[in-house]
Amino acid sequence: MRYRIYLQLEKSLRPNTVEAYMSDVEKFALFLEGGEDALLAVTLDDLRGFVASLADVGIHARSQARILSSLRSFYGFLKLDGFIADDPTELLKSPKIGMHLPDVLTVQEIDDIINEIDLSKNEGQRNRAMIEVLYSCGLRVSELCSLRMSDLYLAEQFIRVTGKGDKQRLVPISGRAIAELEAYFCDRNRIAIKPGYEDFVFISERLKKSLSRIMVFHFIKQLVVSVGIKKNVSPHTFRHSFATHLLEGGANLRVIQAMLGHESIATTEIYTHIDRTRLREEIIGHHPRNRRICIKK
C-alpha cells in the first residue's frame, strides 16, 4: 500500500509505529465492511460510529485517541495524494483524556536506587552507568538501548541521541554519568561482543549483544523492589524525573523540550508538572503587576 511507503519514507516512522498505524486503518476498514471503496467514501458519521464502537468494547479514551490519530494521518495522506477531495476527520473530536502525571523520583530516591546496585556482580557497573545515563540525559528506554559508542562525545560532554522518527539531537551528559560510563568500559572491553553489536554502548555479558527494553524494565523493577520504593517506577520514570528536576531548578521549558526531543511544546507541558508553591513565587517575583512601585513624593 502506498500509505505504508509514505509512513516509512516521508514520515520516517519506526517499523513498530508503521505497523500500529496500518493496524488501526485495518480496524476501521473491518468496521466499514466495504473494503478500499468504503474507506474512500467515509463520512463524519461513519467515524463517529467507529469511535462509539471502540468505547462499547471497552477501549480506553487514550487508546481511542491514538487510533483516531492514525486515521487522521491516513486521510491526510489520501487528501494530499488526491484520492479524496475533503478530509472527513477534520471535524472529528477526540475523546477527552485526563492528564496523567507519572510518579516522580526524588534525587535521594535516585541515589538510593543507584547505590543499591551490587558492583561485585559482573554487570553491576554497567547497570550503574545505565541508570546514570538514563536519568542524566532524560532518555527514552529505546534511546538508551540503541545508544552507540559512535554517539558519545564525552570530551565535549555531549551524546547524540536518535529519537522518534529517527530524528537526532545532541544532549549534554553529566560528569558523573561520564565517570560511570568510563568505569563500565573496562568491563565492556572484556566481553566478546557478537558481530554487528560492537558499536552498542550497553551490552549483555551473557548474550554478548545489546540490551533489549524488556531487560532494562525487568532490572529496574527488581532494583526498586529491593530499595523498598513504593512508587510505580519504570525506565520512563527517570525521564520524567529528569524533566521535573530541571523545571524545578529553573530551566526554561523550551530547553527541556529540546533535551527531551519533543516536537511540540504542548507535549513538554503535559509531560512535566510545576510545584504550585514555586509557580506562585515565580509569578509574585517576576510579574510586573506584583512588583513594588516606589513613588517619589
213 is catalytic: no
Catalytic entry in 140, 188, 240, 245: 140
62 is catalytic: no
Catalytic entry in 164, 169, 213, 221: 164
184 is catalytic: no
The answer to whether 103 touches 235, Cβ cutoff 8 Å, is no
The answer to whether 171 touches 179, Cβ cutoff 8 Å, is no
Question: Burial letters for 33-49: b for 16+ Cβ neighbours within 10 Å, e otherwise?
Answer: eeeeeebeebeeebbee
Catalytic entry in 27, 79, 169, 236: 236
100 is catalytic: no
Catalytic entry in 188, 240, 245, 262: 262
75 is catalytic: no
Catalytic entry in 6, 75, 135, 271: 271
Phi, psi of 162, deg, nearest 5: -100, 110
The answer to whether 188 touches 120, Cβ cutoff 8 Å, is no
Distance, CA of 190 to CA of 222 (rounded, Å): 26
Catalytic entry in 126, 239, 240, 245: 239
Question: Burial letters for 262-295: b for 16+ Cβ neighbours within 10 Å, e otherwise?
Answer: beeeeebeebbbeeeeeeeeeeeeeeeeeeeeee
253 C-beta neighbours (distance < 10 Å), count: 15
280 is catalytic: no
- The set of cell numbers assigned to 70 is 492514525
**Amino acid identity at 135:** Y
Phi, psi of 293, deg, nearest 5: -110, 125
Which are the catalytic amino acids? 140, 164, 236, 239, 262, 271
